[in-house]
């Protein structure tokens, strides 16, 4: 295919998408119910949406009745919002959100902070607590304006600010806005059919997320911990009756896994599998956020992502022995170690036996509690 042909293809694709986005925006402009409507643009992946959905839950509780349209460029997030009856999710690029934001009484953008995109004069009258919320947000909007504009490339700045204020990713949105935090647990939709079909509903097990596999064709990122298979082997050596269940979306099977459910679960099924796990082992990521919603403790190995910002207080959080905390400092932090190492020392110097030993006391206690209650 010639350069000219490829150029024509790109032009045709942009034109089709442009017409599609314009049609969606027109539909929204005509059908938005202004009286009770709030638009919220949420960026990022699964973990970001879980943090956002708990904030939106709390915002609804704080404000009283409101109809919220969540705009997301990331597909497949709708299931997270199903428990909130007044919330709809719209998959659309940022330009569509920008086109229709002024049709709402209030439009917000959630990144690692809360930004006000549009405010109608009738909004404060509709929601009396809005004025205090806006006053709370104002200094953060000023301090973090450059990070908001550059998102996601300067996200380390709100993370640093949060840590100086002794707040983590899980509650920073509430802290910024002054909206009371309603807790980590959240009623994610669950489907126990797979759990039952493979017999996991009748035995104790732990879950593990292997974030890297040669078969996937994806290059290893700086946040991948390469020794989780060895961690699982050590746990099984100490607790041989405990089954290991591999979960996630990356192919390839850990040799320690008794069950490999990677890429074989729907989102409600994975929520059910994690909910019934005695403990989940992972790096910082979306499945750790899911576990926080369903009350499952995690053992999390940290490297580039800052432990002071992302760690949930009830988890076993493993700090890097060397370096770490370089998340978002450069645009390619996930691809290139800032030290120039081909094997990022923050992850490659973390001994798997030490990770297993950190988790085993709590894991033994949890299994003992389950045996007593059964």
**Does 15 reside within a domain?**
no
Same-domain check for residues 148 and 252: no
Please list the ranges in the chain whose pLDDT falls under 70.
1-19, 22, 24-27, 29-35, 212-218, 251-252, 370-374
Same-domain check for residues 144 and 56: yes
For residues 186 and 142, give the distance between their C-alpha atoms in angstroms, rounded to a whole number.
Answer: 31
Same-domain check for residues 300 and 344: yes
Same-domain check for residues 152 and 283: no
Same-domain check for residues 132 and 255: no
CATH number of the structural domain spanning residue 172: 3.40.1380
**Does 324 reside within a domain?**
yes
**Does 276 reside within a domain?**
yes
Same-domain check for residues 142 and 237: no
pLDDT at 31: 62
Query: 82 Cβ partners below 8 Å, 6+ apart?
Result: 189
**Does 21 reside within a domain?**
no
pLDDT at 265: 86
Per-residue pLDDT tens digits for 186-241: 999 999 999 999 999 889 999 999 876 655 556 788 999 999 999 999 999 999 99
Last residue of a domain, one of 151, 177, 203: 177
Same-domain check for residues 230 and 273: yes
Where do the DSSP E strands lie in 56-122?
Answer: 67-72, 87-91, 106-110, 114-119
Same-domain check for residues 203 and 160: no
pLDDT at 12: 46
Per-residue pLDDT tens digits for 337-359: 999 999 999 999 999 999 999 99
CATH number of the structural domain spanning residue 323: 3.40.50.2000
**Does 22 reside within a domain?**
no
Domain containing 91 equals 31-177
Same-domain check for residues 99 and 35: yes
CB 351 within 8 A of CB 225: no
Residue holding tokens 């839950």? 57
Last residue of a domain, one of 125, 142, 177: 177
**Does 333 reside within a domain?**
yes
Backbone angle region of 126, left / alpha / beta, with phi > 0 → left and psi within -120 to 50 → alpha: alpha
CB 256 within 8 A of CB 242: no
Same-domain check for residues 159 and 209: no
Token code pair at residue 291: 């576990």
Last residue of a domain, one of 177, 202, 218: 177
Q: Give SS3 for 320.
A: coil
Same-domain check for residues 348 and 205: yes
What is the domain count for the chain? 2
**Does 182 reside within a domain?**
no
**Does 5 reside within a domain?**
no
pLDDT at 7: 42
3-class SS string, 232-248: HHHHHHHCCCCEEEEEC
- Cα 14 from chain centroid? 29
Same-domain check for residues 100 and 149: yes
């Amino acid at each position: 295919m010639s350069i000219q042909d490829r150029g024509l293809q790109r032009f045709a694709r942009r034109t089709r998408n442009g017409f599609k986005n314009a049609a969606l925006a027109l539909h929204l402009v005509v059908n938005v119910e202004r009286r009770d409507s709030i638009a919220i643009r949420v960026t990022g992946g699964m973990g970001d949406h879980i943090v956002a959905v708990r904030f939106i839950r709390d915002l609804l509780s704080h404000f009283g009745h409101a109809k919220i349209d969540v705009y997301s460029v990331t597909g497949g997030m709708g299931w997270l919002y199903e428990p909130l009856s007044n919330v709809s999710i719209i998959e659309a690029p940022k330009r569509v959100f920008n086109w229709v934001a002024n049709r709402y009484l209030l439009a917000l953008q959630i990144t690692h902070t809360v930004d006000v995109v549009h405010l109608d004069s009738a909004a404060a009258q509709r929601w009396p607590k809005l004025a205090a919320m806006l006053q709370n947000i104002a200094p953060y909007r000023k301090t973090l304006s450059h990070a908001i504009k550059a998102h996601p490339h300067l996200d380390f700045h709100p993370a640093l600010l949060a840590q100086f204020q002794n707040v983590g990713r899980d509650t920073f949105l509430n802290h910024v806005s002054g909206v009371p935090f309603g807790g980590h647990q959240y009623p994610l939709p669950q489907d126990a059919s797979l759990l039952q079909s493979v017999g996991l509903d009748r035995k104790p097990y732990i879950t593990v997320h292997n974030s890297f596999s040669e078969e996937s064709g994806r290059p290893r990122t700086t946040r991948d911990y390469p020794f989780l298979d060895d961690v699982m082997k050590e746990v099984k050596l100490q607790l041989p009756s405990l089954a290991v269940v591999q979960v996630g979306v990356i192919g390839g099977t850990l040799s320690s896994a008794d069950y490999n459910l990677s890429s074989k679960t729907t989102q409600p099924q994975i929520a059910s599998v994690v909910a019934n796990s005695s403990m989940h082992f992972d790096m910082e990521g979306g499945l750790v956020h899911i576990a926080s919603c369903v009350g499952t403790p995690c053992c999390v190995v940290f490297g580039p992502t800052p432990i002071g910002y992302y760690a949930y207080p009830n988890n076993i959080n493993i700090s890097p022995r060397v370096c770490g905390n370089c998340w978002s400092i450069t645009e390619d932090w996930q691809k290139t170690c800032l030290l120039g190492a081909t094997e990022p020392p923050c992850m490659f110097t973390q001994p798997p036996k030490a990770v297993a030993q950190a988790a085993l006391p709590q894991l033994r206690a949890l299994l003992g509690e389950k045996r007593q209650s059964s």
